[in-house]
Amino acid sequence: MYKYGSGERPDHSLAVVVGAGAMGMAVAHRLAQRHRVLLADIDGDRAESEAAAMRDGGCDASAIACDVTSPEAVAALADAVSEQGGLGVLAHVAGLSPSAQDFHLIVRVNLLGAALVADALLPLARQGSAAILIASMAAHSFAAPEPVLEVLSEPNATDVAEKLAQAIGPESVNPGMAYAYSKQGLLLYARRNAAAWGAKGARIVSLSPGMIATPMGAREFEASEQKRKMFAASPLEREGTMPEIADAVEFLASDRASFISGTDLLVDGGLTAALKG
Ligand SMILES: NC(=O)c1ccc[n+]([C@@H]2O[C@H](COP(=O)([O-])OP(=O)(O)OC[C@H]3O[C@@H](n4cnc5c(N)ncnc54)[C@H](O)[C@@H]3O)[C@@H](O)[C@H]2O)c1
């Protein structure tokens, strides 16, 4: 039923944006131009206040508290998506950077969480749906050896972090490795699940941002000399912006990307290319 004076758009399909942080909200605002938006975040108050601000701005937005590492919370998210008529777009943006420090938590949020969410929402996808998993250029920095690839191939195992720690050995268990491998796992997940999404007429891709100007990115600059050195190699001599990531997500979510699935889009201003030479 249409409500006068509201921005409600029952005629639009639903975009689920997981992660109501800086980049997540840039993506949410952009997708809201053509979708209803459901924001999901472990911080339910943040998600709700961001959704309220979106509604004040004329968007159709709602929110749900969801810890993506909890199968029960993810099942509740899927129920909410089903109640709202099924999935148009999934943008999985939530993630922890190496400054979170905790190997297991980084792997669980970045990889297990994304896999649980995408697995749970696939049954609600339909012709034209698209899932976009935000990875990182860190996923492109080195190739995983075979035993690690085996672990990354089962990202929805609840003990994936423990298995990864075992596969890489104690000398490599650090937050940077958790980040790089969890993001490699997302690239692999999109590749391996293109057929399942394709069977529904839907697509799944990963998107690897390079250095993007966000509070999370700024924290990494503070903490990592390696990141400051890498910045010096940036072909465009600047960070990317959140609207530039939203541009790429908007494209990948749209019908203009209707033949793009099972692959990764690197949005890094050429930095990976410059580093690899
Ligand atoms: N900023 C960069 O330079 C850069 C570069 C490459 C990739 N990325 C990726 O971009 C993504 C988001 O960045 P951002 O700037 O929005 O970060 P952010 O820290 O602002 O937001 C992350 C959000 O994820 C939520 N979150 C954390 N754990 C969660 C959980 N268990 N369940 C649900 N939500 C949870 C947090 O509450 C927060 O709202 C991350 O995946 C990050 O790895 C960022």
Concatenating the DSSP letter of every residue in 3-17 gives: -TT----TTSEEEEE
Look at ligand 1, atom 32, and give the residue with the nearest C-alpha.
Answer: 67
Q: Is 113 in the pocket of ligand 1 (CB under 6 A)?
A: yes
Q: Is 48 in the pocket of ligand 1 (CB under 6 A)?
A: no
Dist. CA 136 → ligand 1 center (Å): 11
Q: Is 197 exposed, middle or buried (0-12, 13-18, 19+ CB in 10 A)?
A: buried
Look at ligand 1, atom 26, and give the residue with the nearest C-alpha.
Answer: 94
Pocket test for ligand 1, best of 23, 68, 106, 267 (most atoms within 8 A of CB): 23
pLDDT value of residue 51: 98
pLDDT value of residue 217: 87
pLDDT value of residue 248: 99
- What is the span of the domain harbouring residue 105? 13-210+241-271
pLDDT value of residue 195: 98
In a domain, 24, yes or no: yes
In a domain, 3, yes or no: no
Return the CATH number at 119: 3.40.50.720
Nearest CA among 62, 68, 1 for reference residue 32 = 62
pLDDT value of residue 236: 97
pTM of the shown model: 0.98
Separation CA 102–CA 88 (nearest Å): 33
Residue 123's SS3 state is: helix
In a domain, 231, yes or no: no
In a domain, 277, yes or no: no
Domain tally for the chain? 1
In a domain, 234, yes or no: no
According to DSSP, the residues that pair with 264 across neighbouring strands are: 206
In a domain, 217, yes or no: no
Dist. CA 49 → ligand 1 center (Å): 17
Q: How many residues does the chain have?
A: 277
Taking the chain (277 residues) in runs of 10, the rounded mean pLDDT of each run is 84 98 98 98 98 97 98 98 98 96 97 98 98 98 95 97 97 96 98 98 98 91 88 96 98 98 98 94
Residue whose entry in the numeric block shows the structure tokens 């029952």 = 10
In a domain, 225, yes or no: no
pLDDT value of residue 1: 66
In a domain, 251, yes or no: yes
167-179: b (≥16 Cβ within 10 Å) or e? bbeeeeeebbbbb
